[in-house]
Chain A
Amino acid sequence: MKSFKGKTLRWEWREGCIELTLDHEPANEIGTAMLEELEIFAGGFGTLAPETSACIISSARKSVFSAGGDLRELYHHAMSIPEGERLKGIRRFLERIHAVMNAIDATPFVTIAAVHGACFGGGLELALACDIIVADKMARFAFPELRLGFIPGFGGVPRLKRDLGNAVVRDLLFTGRTLNASRAHALGLVAQLAGEGEALRVARSTATQVSKYDPVARAAAKEFMKPVPHEELREEIDIFCELFTRPEVMAALKKFVEDSGPMPYLP
């Protein structure tokens, strides 16, 4: 499938490059609907890979790449089912999103996240699955999950640890603070800084450059440089599920869902 237009995202293959655009109101939250369409997207890699050199993931939403997992859906779904069944449901969701992230992580072509605005939680985890992050200078990154009593669940910690020093990972996780693009660039999280509104253009230019090189060498280099941390990813799912069963988590989710303040991501 060389093009697709769903309810939460769309993609188009053109001259060896797939452009995936997240477009789900209000802030590209990753819930069941986006997961289903990401699964369709990842399911097409096998067919598209031989004629693809790069894939760019960007957002059509103003001021945001992705705010992360759909916490409102998570809360309302959890409240609608018996307490004993919650864990089964969340584990199934995590298994599915991990399969998508792992597929994006391991593609033989080069994946580029073109980030502008807020890139939080699951949104940052999606960007981290990519090979290269190009960020608009107004982009901000954060892992605010600990405020809700759990850890990032879409593969974020193992992938952030793969790319950055553990001290930075601890700072981001323990404070939940947002990191600006310049700082993220200085730390090595962001590969290329772009001017305001220029991230997608820079990503396209990078994709064009990438396409000039031998695909076999490119795939071998990627496999060598960027191994998928499968064992830690499995462990992450277990830890998330263990934390999620605590009543503190539902209380924190309720507070978040009901919060209409200007900084709801930071308690």
Chain B
Amino acid sequence: MRTLEQTTREVLDLAAKHFQLPAGSLAPEDDFFKKLGIDSLQTLEMLSRLENHFGIELPDYEVQGVSDFKTLAERIQSRL
């Protein structure tokens, strides 16, 4: 079972890779909409990538209003 710290790290690494950013350039408290400047379709792509990576289903309404990686990782952790 992953710890929340591990999950958070994997979320950050995955986001950095997906958006082609240098490793370690994202922080748990970052607002990903502001930091990544993503639109609705990119948000869905990221959701798919997270679900595929963690092997979970994360309904959109559970991450609605979530804008930082730390809270996103917590939502994922609750589904692991």
Contacts and interface: CB of A to CB of B under 8 A. Distances in A.
A181 B60 contact: no
B51 A264 contact: no
Interface of A: 27, 63-64, 117-118, 137-140, 175, 177-178, 180-183, 261-266
25 contacts: A27-B41, A63-B42, A63-B44, A117-B41, A117-B44, A117-B45, A118-B41, A137-B48, A137-B52, A138-B49, A139-B48, A140-B44, A140-B48, A177-B59, A178-B44, A180-B51, A182-B51, A262-B38, A262-B39, A263-B40, A263-B43, A263-B60, A264-B40, A265-B40, A266-B64
Interface of B: 33, 38-45, 47-49, 51-52, 57, 59-61, 64
Contacts, number: 53
Dominant secondary structure at the A interface? loop
Contact of B43 (A137, A175, A181, A262): A262
Contacts of B61: 175, 177, 266
Contacts of B38: 262
Nearest to B59: A177
Given A117-B41, A264-B40, A265-B40, A180 B64 contact: no
A262 B45 contact: no
